Amino acid sequence: MDGTVIEDTPKSDAGGRIIPLGKDGVAVLKAHRLAQKKDKLSWGGAWVDSGKMFAREDGSAFHPLDIRRVRAPVHRRRPPTDPAA
């Protein structure tokens, strides 16, 4: 594993997923997309059209390891869930 990112279709039908988001999830994604469009306008010709929903401020794609580095500290800060709730 040399860290190369390979994007391809799932190896089997079981690898494809449809994820129900609900109204709140859809609203969050629409707001994110609007913010991304504003970023694209502000970056002008320097914008990188990666086609990714979650990208860097300039539109370039994150490397999967970058996502882990960002997500892990956020995940650790989450308050524990109350099992009695």
Domain spans in the chain, listed from the N-terminal domain onward: 20-77
pTM score, whole prediction? 0.63
- Specify the pLDDT at position 75: 47
- Specify the pLDDT at position 68: 67
Listed residue (73, 36, 29) closest to 55, CA to CA: 36
In order along the chain (85 residues), what is the average pLDDT of each group of 10 residues?
Answer: 78 85 91 92 94 89 74 51 55
CA angle 20, 68, 82 (to 5 degrees): 60
